[in-house]
């Protein structure tokens, strides 16, 4: 990974030299906040929303506290390491984009060397905690998550293909595998379904955001779909992926895992998600289309994912699955 990071750095020197941030002496509190910002806390929050409910669902109740803590902390550190590596790799383009111009490496609150060292420390800590507190399979998934986000997405795909967010989004799917493996010591079909749900959810979540910031991506030559395609094409893809997401979310029912709470929540919130995706497609063909309408789907996608995973956590405590035999704890 070190060689790849050095290669990415060399590729970005022309943009970085354009506006090198001014260094200044920074206090401890401000420095600490800068390091925290490198980890992209909002992304970590979203990932943890999928982790704990998956553990509860897999165990059919509450797992032991140590397993929960090790999985949550180890997973959070893995996500933080990925975000920090990404900030290091993208520091050349971040300074040219409105959405990212205040990141610590752009403002100079953290130096590239500090960010890189911090990223590796988080990586080592996450692997150690997962290895000690869970099992080898959960730990392997943690390593894979970091690898996919840093190497596959940030270094290889992001600046080369409009499909970047699809395959790069795989990293965001690994928390459910980590959680499942930590509880049951293996990976079963329900975990695969949840993995695919997040995989399919990522494009309709992120592509509306890329519509809003398309000029930023165009300026730095990053081929996000929203930057290189018409709003109609982007919204049509959002519709397709939204349908696929909702359909896959309901597969837990015939598998004999889903109860009334999860099934009802997935169906109702999924119907709402699909409706808003179609509305976005209709609106995208009108001359008064604005990015605010696209952002409505972006925010809704977060609500949708939160609702179905909260329902996933509640489901084991409410009653038996609607179809099939009762699934027992490991």
Residues 172 and 214 in one domain: no
Q: What is the pLDDT along the chain (330 residues), one digit of tens a residue?
A: 655 555 554 444 444 444 444 455 778 889 999 999 999 998 898 888 999 999 999 999 999 999 999 999 999 999 999 999 999 999 999 998 888 899 999 999 999 999 999 999 999 999 999 999 999 999 999 999 999 999 999 999 888 888 888 877 788 899 999 999 999 999 999 999 999 999 999 999 998 888 888 888 888 888 888 888 888 899 999 999 999 999 999 999 999 899 999 999 999 999 999 999 999 999 888 887 877 778 899 999 999 999 999 999 999 998 777 776 666 667
Residues 297 and 240 in one domain: yes
Do 94 and 106 contact (CB within 8 A), yes or no? yes
Q: Read out DSSP for 64-127?
A: PHHHHHHHHHHHHHHHHHHHHHHHHHTHHHHTT-TTTTTSHHHHTSS-HHHHHHHHHHHHHHHH
pLDDT of residue 54: 97
Residues 196 and 267 in one domain: yes
Do 209 and 98 contact (CB within 8 A), yes or no? no
Residues 196 and 158 in one domain: no
SS (H, E, C) 256-281: CCCCHHHHHHHHHHHHHHHHHHHHHH
Burial of 156 per CB tally in 10 Å (0-12, 13-18, 19+) = middle
pLDDT of residue 19: 42
pTM of the model: 0.88
Residues 274 and 306 in one domain: yes
DSSP state of 185: S
Do 280 and 238 contact (CB within 8 A), yes or no? yes
Residues 276 and 171 in one domain: no
Range of the domain at 63: 30-179
Do 105 and 172 contact (CB within 8 A), yes or no? no
pLDDT of residue 14: 44
Residues 160 and 218 in one domain: no
Residues 283 and 228 in one domain: yes
The tally of domains found in the chain comes to 2
Identify whether 19 is part of a domain.
no
Last residue of a domain, one of 119, 144, 179: 179
Residues 268 and 170 in one domain: no
Residues 40 and 175 in one domain: yes
Identify whether 305 is part of a domain.
yes
Identify whether 295 is part of a domain.
yes
Identify whether 71 is part of a domain.
yes
Identify whether 46 is part of a domain.
yes
CATH code, 160: 1.10.357.140
Residues 175 and 37 in one domain: yes
Residues 80 and 108 in one domain: yes
């Amino acid at each position: 990974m070190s060689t790849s990071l050095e290669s990415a750095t060399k590729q970005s020197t022309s943009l970085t030299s354009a506006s090198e941030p001014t260094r200044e002496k920074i206090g401890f509190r401000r420095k600490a906040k800068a390091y925290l910002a490198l980890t992209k806390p909002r992304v970590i929050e979203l990932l943890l929303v999928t982790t704990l409910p998956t553990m509860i669902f897999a165990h059919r109740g509450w797992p032991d506290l140590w397993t929960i803590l090790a999985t949550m902390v180890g997973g959070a550190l893995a996500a933080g390491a990925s975000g920090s590596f990404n900030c290091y790799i993208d520091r050349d383009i971040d300074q040219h984009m409105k959405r990212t111009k205040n990141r610590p490496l752009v403002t100079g609150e953290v130096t590239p060397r500090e960010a890189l060292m911090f990223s590796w420390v988080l990586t080592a800590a996450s692997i150690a905690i997962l290895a000690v507190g869970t099992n080898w399979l959960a730990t392997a998934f943690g390593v894979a998550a970091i690898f996919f986000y840093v190497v596959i997405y940030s270094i290889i795909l992001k600046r080369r293909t409009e499909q970047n967010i699809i395959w790069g989004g795989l990293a965001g799917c690994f928390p459910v595998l980590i959680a499942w493996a930590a509880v049951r010591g293996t990976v079963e079909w329900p975990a695969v379904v949840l993995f695919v749900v997040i995989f399919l959810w990522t494009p309709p979540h992120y592509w509306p955001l890329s519509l809003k910031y398309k000029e930023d991506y165009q300026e730095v030559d990053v081929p996000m779909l929203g930057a290189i395609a018409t709003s109609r094409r982007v919204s049509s893809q959002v519709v397709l992926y939204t349908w696929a997401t909702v359909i896959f979310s309901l597969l837990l029912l015939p598998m004999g895992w889903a109860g009334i709470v999860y099934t009802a929540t997935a169906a109702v919130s999924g119907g709402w998600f699909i409706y808003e995706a179609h509305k976005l497609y209709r609106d995208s063909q009108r001359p008064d289309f604005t990015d605010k309408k696209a952002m409505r789907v972006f925010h809704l996608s977060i609500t949708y994912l939160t609702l179905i995973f909260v329902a996933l956590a509640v489901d084991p405590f409410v009653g038996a699955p609607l179809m099939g035999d009762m699934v027992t704890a490991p």
